[in-house]
A and B are shown apart, each in its own frame.
Chain A
């Protein structure tokens, strides 16, 4: 770093920053309260797993076979069957969003099945929410398969059996709890807040309040000013990380299969990129107001949408996929999801570490070029 570093000056700056953090409620708010709020919000509020989906059941002519099929829907923990007398009623209910879909057994279902004629089962889905519709489709299919194999076994109707049976195993998250992948990803979003947003705000605040002008006219060197900001917020961010990881494991019961060492190294690398981004933003922005807005747009939103935290990167159009590489959160999310659910998967972790280190280097060079002990 530019100029020599005096430990005396550096420790003075760090002590000052620490006192400010302790006394400023908004720092504590962004570093600790906001993370907990987000964690609770996502942990409880956001779930992609549809459970107890209301599904209309229309049986035009009751029969033992039809009853048997319907009972398999009742056994499913994912489906809450709602009986209707006619398809018209069920369709109305779909229009009014009372049910997410309907299963329709025509009047001839049982007799056709017994007499060997085609006996199709009709399913209508409310496709507005395509994602949920597809999951519901899966649940209905599952219940139907369950009934079919039972029917085949009991009636010895081998000819009805489907030729290929699908057996699947879902690794790392067998219960497919969406919380297990949302919560680790959230750690990255939260660290972006402390690293990027808080750093950008506090540095901009120094410019706005004129404290920076007084600071840079003292013998302090550029390197000392930068380190004086990086060290305290690095520690603060890591503390926030430990808090969120603790909550994730203890409160939200997310499994943790990797090593804390890998987590610590990865977090440190990511924290540094976030702080660097915060510093770059604060150099460009004159006021806290602008810094806050820019920080949301360039750190928070991408960490949310383009990091693979919720939306699958592999499915994005290639140009968007290319852009995601320069978003540090993408690499960190990828590490986090592996460490938590799969373990220390070195090829994934190394690749991400390399990216983070590269980004750190680039951000560092930008800061050294753009930050001067000078106004304007």
Chain B
């Protein structure tokens, strides 16, 4: 009973210190909202209004017909070129990302059943943008081919041929927002949890209050509990705030059960708290705590599969990511949001994360005292 009271007192104290002044409350609420807005709108791989220049030597109607397909939101025709010399500068100066070139025989080739060629020049400076743009054009062209085939058959009769029928599961429109935005739930949760915990012990060390705690009858595990509970609460509240924005502002479907989502987030926060408190126990000053958090966070985010797939990384780095709790929670969050996955599909993600949490929390408790000599 006494232990319980003592832990509650510690938790209460911790919450008051964290939330007492306007500034620290704002730090917990405003940056996350700002970040999700910036990330939500700026950080995605969708292409919009890609500038396209056209060099059309063809007099026929097919080239114009195909060009009409480019006139969606993705592409924007910026210039008509009149000579091939203009192609290089227009790409180099970044006036256009793509130049579409129709040869003089484009329409006549199609009419006569010869193979018509569409030349495409892409600015490869940003290889990802280049690939995506190329992919869009491929789809436009194959759509155009299908239309031509249907027309052709209508004229000649018959119904032969083969086509690719592509369906995307979970994210039917292949909208990369759906991929990035649920990931932000995990990202902001770990940022806030680390911010709250990584400085908490160092701050008390600097203020001298940590000594005061250590001479009091608190055992390291009571201190650990008193430090973890508020951080977990704040982490969960933060996650809820972000989830609400994700669902109601960005309209990302939440297909799975909230229970699974929160179970995953809870264990994730637990492991983040463990890591944060470990960093904090090692640091002597808040400055070191902040640096420690930064040095953990940057690789943890980059090597989590948040923006780029883990499967693209070298084997060694892939093995390293197994120690990163964010790697697991991203699968859980995206699984629950987009696939509606439940425990049966996700348990293999829960187990390692829980292990990381337990190990780091125990280490943190042991380090509380170690760092004194």
Contact = CB atoms under 8 A, between A and B. Distances in A.
Given A96-B345, A315-B48, A134 B124 contact: no
A321 to B, nearest CB: 9
A135 B162 contact: no
B163 A312 contact: no
Given A122-B167, A311-B44, A348-B93, A50 B311 contact: yes
B145 A164 contact: yes
Contacts of B118: 164-167
Given A144-B164, A166-B118, A296-B294, A176 B299 contact: no
Interface in B230-288: 286-287
Interface string B41-68: 1111111111100000000000000100
A45 B303 contact: yes
Interface stretch (A8-16, A243-251, A286-294): A286-294
B167 A123 contact: yes
Interface in A293-347: 293, 296-297, 305-306, 308, 310-312, 314-317, 320, 334, 337-338, 341-343, 345, 347
Q: Nearest 5 CB-CB pairs, A to B?
A: A127-B171, A173-B124, A127-B168, A116-B160, A168-B120
Interface in B279-324: 286-287, 290-291, 294, 298-299, 302-303, 307-309, 311-314, 317
B3 interface: no
A62 interface: no
Given A44-B314, A121-B162, A315-B48, A127 B110 contact: no
Contacts of A37: 299
A177 interface: yes
B159 interface: yes
Contacts of B93: 345, 347-348
B345 A95 contact: yes
Contacts of A131: 45, 128, 132, 176, 179
B345 A138 contact: no
B171 A161 contact: no
Contacts of A169: 119-122
Contact of B121 (A148, A168, A341, A347): A168
Given A124-B166, A341-B125, 6 more contacts: A95-B341, A120-B165, A127-B178, A127-B338, A164-B144, A289-B286
Given A128-B170, A181-B127, A314-B49, A123 B164 contact: yes
A137 B166 contact: yes
B113 interface: yes
Contact of A173 (B121, B130, B339): B130
Given A50-B311, A128-B339, A289-B287, A172 B169 contact: no
B166 A123 contact: yes
Contacts, number: 290
Contacts of A148: 162
Contacts of A53: 311
Interface string B352-371: 00000000000000000000
Nearest to B119: A167
Interface of B: 31, 38-39, 41-51, 66, 89, 91-94, 97, 110, 113, 115-132, 134-135, 137-138, 141-142, 144-145, 148-149, 152, 158-172, 174-176, 178-179, 286-287, 290-291, 294, 298-299, 302-303, 307-309, 311-314, 317, 331, 334-335, 338-339, 341, 345
B124 A341 contact: yes
A178 B335 CA distance: 27
Nearest to B45: A131
B120 A116 contact: no
B213 to A, nearest CB: 22
A285 interface: no
A27 to B, nearest CB: 13
A120 B116 CA distance: 23
A219 interface: no
Contacts of B130: 170, 173, 176
Contacts of B291: 26, 292
Given A158-B113, A167-B117, A171-B121, A348 B94 contact: yes
A180 B129 CA distance: 13
A224 B264 CA distance: 56
A122 B165 contact: yes
Nearest to A172: B124
Given A50-B312, A121-B162, A181 B179 contact: no
